[in-house]
A = this chain, B = another copy of it.
Amino acid sequence: LYRQIYEGYRAAILDRRLRARERLPSTRSLAEELQVSRIPIVNAFEQLRAEGYLEVRRGSGTYVARTLPDRLLKPRPISPPGASDRSPQPAFISRRVKALLSGRFGPWLRTGGTFNIGQPPLDHFPIRVWSRLVATNARNAEVHFLHYGQHMGLLLLREAVADYLKSSRSVSCSPDQVMIVSGSQQALHLAAQVLLNPGSPAWFEEPGYFGTRHALTLAGARIIPVPVDDEGLDVSAGIAGGSRPRAIFVTPSHQFPLGATMSARRRLQLLDWARRIRAWVVEDDYDSEYRYGNLPIASLQGLDRDSRVIYIGTFTKLLFPALRLAYVVLPATLVEAFIEAKRATDLPTPTLPQLVLSDFMREGHFARHVRKMRVLCRERRGALVRAIRRELPFMQILGDPAGMYLAASLPPGIPDREICEQAARDGLRIAPLSECYVEDSPRAGLLLGYGGSTVEEIEAGIRRLREITEPVLRRDTSATAGKRPRIQPRTRGLGTRTG
């Protein structure tokens, strides 16, 4: 009742059915008229007074506030349904976000489906163990756990991460340099914000990871594509290009998306160049745990003698995407800057999942799960490679045996995007390689995730892919004997590779 009276009078004032200075009936007479208690009427009038719609003149009664600007009160309904779609002019949106929006979405962006590159083997995640740890930590939750956490993250987890990185990734750091973030995308975003001014040049692998490109675009950086080959980033080509980057973004362990391992020579050359021009190096070590030919490649960070490397890793790939926990290892000189940037973008990462993950690592579940997944992913990769060789012999598998996806090239000029769009209709979430290029001479190919797909799904998927690809291939190779159709570059990529 209170609400009805309040809203009725407010609407009447806003619609100019009641005009400024108009006197309202007394609450007593209104109560009598409506045959209701006076209390809700008094409350509604008091609320309208508090909000400035009414004014009370002592001894004289209640009036519509004389301060209400007549011109602004219009006889049209407040917020009619669909009002939000009626904005007549195009909405102003910042240039940096427009640049993000200018790319096209592909159906491969969606979660789920065979060959999704962002999906670890969730069917084998020890969900019962995890749930038990969540439940235990929730039950033991103390009041202090409700507070904001530390901006750098829970110390317990930072210690576990530092130990793990030292022994598994040859990363040289103390827990004070480890910042827990909500995913590798947040780490890339913070790095771009801290390290680059709008217009600052940044080296970006060509082809490279779209998540990095999005972070650089939002930061307004000048993205300078530097080619990669089978030794990783071609540092000499970058230097020859004449730019002096403020920051260099690389994926040395398993280049995204072509799969090369950066050679020792290139690593030393990159660190030397970075030292000479005082550039930062951002090492995105997104899936380095999974290598099938040899052991994980030692990090670039561990070779750095000059504190120029920002090292990013994530638990998303190793555990599950919904976890939203990753980490950045920072040079000591950047710790304060990252804290400030995190404070301005997002407050500390939630405590509960950090507690659960610390336990999960401490009790040995993490190491056990990674070992198990390495075997499983190797098996799935083997099945995928065999299926491609059998069904799609015109495709060439690129990169080292590592990670949870592989890139395979198509004959030049084949429109990979068209194939991926068609495949998506059958639930195959294959991403086009050409989307990973900034410049306009992309290589055609497909990115096929195997981590989250079973051997049966992989085999059926590749058979279906052959049915989709063959007609396109026949059409394009006959139509273009001599003339190659140009694949259009895209300004936006594939969405969520990792977290």
Contact = CB atoms under 8 A, between A and B. Distances in A.
Contact of A147 (B183, B217, B271, B321): B321
A297 B131 contact: no
Contacts of A343: 100, 185, 214, 495-496
Contacts of A211: 344
A30 B97 CA distance: 59
A337 B96 CA distance: 10
Contacts of A87: 306-308, 331, 333
A122 B71 CA distance: 47
A60 interface: no
A403 B404 CA distance: 50
A29 interface: no
Contacts of A186: 345-347
A324 B351 CA distance: 10
A139 B128 CA distance: 7
A303 interface: yes
Contacts of A149: 322
B197 A94 contact: yes
A304 interface: yes
Contact of A123 (B143, B182, B305, B336): B143
Nearest to A264: B52
Nearest to A116: B147
A196 B350 CA distance: 29
A141 interface: yes
A215 interface: yes
Contacts of A183: 346-347
Contact of A141 (B51, B98, B127, B334): B127
Interface in A251-292: 261, 263-269, 271-272, 278, 280
B51 A298 contact: yes
Interface in A47-62: 47, 50-53
Contacts of A14: 303
Given A268-B73, A322-B148, A352-B322, A347 B499 contact: yes
A28 interface: no
Identical chains in the assembly: 2
Nearest to A127: B141
Q: Which 10 A-B pairs have the closest CB atoms?
A: A52-B263, A52-B264, A146-B320, A135-B135, A79-B172, A214-B344, A134-B138, A91-B333, A72-B268, A131-B138
A340 B97 contact: yes
Interface of A: 7, 10, 14, 43, 46-47, 50-53, 65, 67-69, 71-74, 76, 78-79, 83-87, 89-98, 100-101, 111-112, 118-119, 122-123, 125, 127, 130-131, 134-135, 138-139, 141, 143, 145-149, 170, 172-173, 177, 182-183, 185-186, 189, 193-198, 200, 211, 214-215, 217-218, 220, 231, 246, 261, 263-269, 271-272, 278, 280, 293-295, 297-298, 302-308, 320-324, 331-334, 336-337, 340-341, 343-353, 400, 495-496, 499
A78 B303 contact: yes
B297 A51 contact: yes
Contacts of A101: 336-337, 340
Contacts of A95: 197
A14 B112 CA distance: 44
A216 B263 CA distance: 42
9 contacts: A14-B303, A52-B266, A71-B272, A78-B172, A83-B305, A198-B220, A211-B344, A215-B345, A345-B346
B265 A189 contact: no
The winner among A73, A94, A139, A280 for most chain B CB atoms within 10 A is A94
Contacts of A127: 141, 143, 146
A482 B499 CA distance: 61
